[in-house]
Every structure is written in structure tokens, then in C-alpha cells.
């Protein structure tokens, strides 16, 4: 194992730490780590990312369940359309994308490059969400929560497609939706988001089983380190202000997104 691979496996711990600290964000690092540090094909990396993110988020959600910080009704309303779209995306849409997408000024945009560029745009959107933060203060629970079912369901479907294409959990989209549309307090939104991410990511991975050749030894080792990270992150969250960390991480994700775009277009 060379130094780059060692750094790649070490980064898997950081992915889990981020999920444990801020309830998201770490999943958006999984694809770049697998592609650039471990040299795995981008399409296969999106499948691996679904398994890593799904398993790590599931473990992390148990702690929120124990504390009563998961709203199962909101999770169900958001998750059902998300489950359907992520499975269909991984099963049919991703395999149907042609290897050569288009050519611009002599530069051929292949399927692999297209996925990485699309993922970089997702990273830029995520960084904006994390840097900007949520100015709205948590609302006190005042009885029965009011759900905007059509909008929550629609966003669930959109996030499912996004997850299916790039292998990211989509927590940066799920958490604002749960806070603003389902009116959940932030901590409960984070716990509910982890459960949704876990379920839809693992369902998306199931849609990949027939299309991908999985190296289970590598995948389980990488995932185990990420799970260790989420326990470390959950412990550290007692001492570190999550909102400040989220903004710092947002700037890091912004730099990573710009790096991916530059690498795929100018340094290929």
C-alpha cells in the first residue's frame, strides 16, 4: 500500500467524523477520495459511495433514535419518493448514460468526466448551503407538525435522483427541507436526515449490484474506518460548536469543488 492509498483510507475516518459532527457533509468527500486518492473508476466509485455513506449514516442515526431525535413521519413522507427515484436512477439511468457525452472545442466530455463535473457542481451548492447557514432559529415544538406533503415528496424525488447519479447523501438538501417544510428543530432534522440518507443510499446500492463488480474486502474495510469516524465525530460534537465547524467545512468543500472542475477540464 503506497502513501496515497494510506491517505485515502485515513480520509475515510474523516468522512465519518464529519457525519458525526454536523450530520452531513462527509458523504460529499467520499467520491473524490475514491477517485483521486484510491484510483477507482468514477462510476464504480458512486456505487461504493452509496454503500459507505448509507452504512455510516445508519450507524450514526442509532444515537439520534436513542435520544428520540428522529421524526419517523417526516422521514417516511420524504423517503418513499426518494427510495423509488434513487433505485431507478442507479438501475437504469446511470447505465444508460453514453460513454461519450459531447465534444466542445476539441475537448471530449466522457461519462466519467461528466459525473465528476456534475458532482463538483453539487459540491459548490453544498458549500454555499453550509457557509450561508440557516438564519432561522429553531422553533419550539408546538403540537402537531404541519407537513407540506407535495413539496416534501417532490424534493425527496429530486434528492433521490441526485443521490443516484453522484453517490452523495444529499444531507445539505434534506436538512433545510425538514427544517423549513416539516418545521423540525435542527437536531431532529439532522437525526431524521441521517436515517433517510442511510435508507436511500443503501437502496441505491442494491440497484447497482447487478451492474457493478464489487470488491467487498476493500469496501468493507473502507466503510469500517468511516464508521469508526462517526463515533469519534459524535464524541467530539459535545465539545465543538457544530455551526462554526459547518461553515469551515463549507469553505473546504468549496475549494474541493473548484479543484475538481479545474482538474477535469484543464489538467486532464
Domain segments of the chain as ranges = 3-266
Q: What is the mean pLDDT of residues 60-79?
A: 88
Tell me the C-alpha distance between 10 and 6, whole Å. 6
pLDDT tens digits, residue range 163-222?
788 766 667 677 777 777 777 887 788 888 888 888 888 888 887 776 668 899 999 999
Cβ-contact 33, 248 below 8 angstroms: no
Least reliable range by pLDDT among 61-70, 203-212, 223-232, 247-256: 203-212
Tell me the C-alpha distance between 167 and 218, whole Å. 17
Helix (H, G, I), strand (E, B) or coil at 100: strand
Higher pLDDT: 219 or 23? It is 219
pLDDT tens digits, residue range 132-171?
765 554 444 444 555 667 887 888 888 888 878 876 666 7
Q: 99: exposed, middle or buried (C-beta count within 10 Å: 0-12, 13-18, 19+)? A: exposed
pLDDT surpassing 50 at residue 98: yes
Tell me the C-alpha distance between 157 and 173, whole Å. 12
Confidence bin at 18 (pLDDT 50/70/90): confident
- SS3 track for 159-176: HHHHHHHHCCCCHHHHHH
- Residue 65, pLDDT score: 92
CA-closest candidate to residue 30, choices 248, 267, 205: 205
Give the C-alpha distances (Å, rounded to integers) separating 175 from 22, 61, 171.
11, 14, 6
- Residue 259, pLDDT score: 86
Q: What is the mean pLDDT of residues 241-268?
A: 79
- Residue 169, pLDDT score: 64
Task: Look up the pTM and report it.
Answer: 0.75
CB contact set of 4 (below 8 Å; sequence gap of 6+): 37, 38
Least reliable range by pLDDT among 39-48, 89-98, 166-175, 187-196: 166-175
Least reliable range by pLDDT among 72-81, 200-209, 253-262: 200-209
- Residue 129, pLDDT score: 75
Tell me the C-alpha distance between 41 and 114, whole Å. 13
Q: Could you tell me what percent of the chain has a pLDDT over 70?
A: 85
Joined together, the cell numbers standing for residue 28 give: 460529499
CB contact set of 66 (below 8 Å; sequence gap of 6+): none
pLDDT tens digits, residue range 100-132?
988 887 788 888 888 888 888 887 887 887 787
- Residue 138, pLDDT score: 44
- Residue 51, pLDDT score: 92
Buried b (16+ CB within 10 A) or exposed e, 114-147: bbbbebbebbbbbbebbeeebeeeeeeeeeeeeb
CA-closest candidate to residue 113, choices 123, 125, 98, 126: 98
Cβ-contact 218, 9 below 8 angstroms: no
Q: What is the mean pLDDT of the chain?
A: 81
- Residue 220, pLDDT score: 94
Amino acid at each position: 500500500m503506497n502513501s496515497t492509498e494510506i491517505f485515502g483510507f485515513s480520509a475515510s475516518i474523516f468522512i465519518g467524523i464529519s457525519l458525526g459532527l454536523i450530520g452531513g457533509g462527509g458523504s460529499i468527500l467520499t467520491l473524490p477520495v475514491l477517485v483521486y486518492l484510491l484510483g477507482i473508476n468514477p462510476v464504480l466509485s458512486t456505487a461504493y459511495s452509496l454503500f459507505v455513506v448509507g452504512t455510516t449514516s445508519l450507524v450514526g442515526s442509532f444515537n439520534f433514535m436513542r435520544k428520540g431525535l428522529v421524526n419517523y413521519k417526516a422521514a417516511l413522507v420524504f423517503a418513499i419518493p426518494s427510495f423509488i427515484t434513487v433505485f431507478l436512477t442507479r438501475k437504469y439511468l446511470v447505465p444508460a448514460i453514453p460513454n461519450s457525452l459531447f465534444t466542445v472545442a476539441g475537448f471530449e466530455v466522457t461519462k466519467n468526466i461528466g459525473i465528476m463535473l456534475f458532482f463538483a457542481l453539487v459540491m459548490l451548492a453544498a458549500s454555499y448551503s453550509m457557509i450561508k447557514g440557516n438564519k432561522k432559529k429553531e422553533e419550539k415544538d408546538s403540537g402537531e407538525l404541519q407537513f407540506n406533503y407535495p413539496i416534501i415528496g417532490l424534493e425527496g424525488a429530486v434528492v433521490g435522483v441526485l443521490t443516484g447519479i453522484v453517490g452523495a447523501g444529499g444531507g445539505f438538501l434534506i436538512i433545510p427541507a425538514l427544517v423549513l417544510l416539516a418545521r423540525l428543530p435542527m437536531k431532529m432534522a439532522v437525526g431524521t436526515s441521517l436515517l433517510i440518507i442511510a435508507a436511500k443510499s443503501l437502496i441505491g446500492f442494491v440497484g447497482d449490484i447487478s451492474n457493478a463488480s464489487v470488491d467487498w474486502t476493500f469496501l468493507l474495510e473502507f466503510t469500517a474506518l468511516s464508521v469508526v469516524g462517526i463515533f469519534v465525530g459524535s464524541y467530539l460534537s459535545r465539545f465543538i460548536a457544530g455551526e462554526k465547524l459547518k461553515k469551515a467545512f463549507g469553505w473546504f468543500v468549496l475549494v474541493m469543488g473548484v479543484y475538481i472542475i479545474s482538474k477535469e477540464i484543464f489538467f486532464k
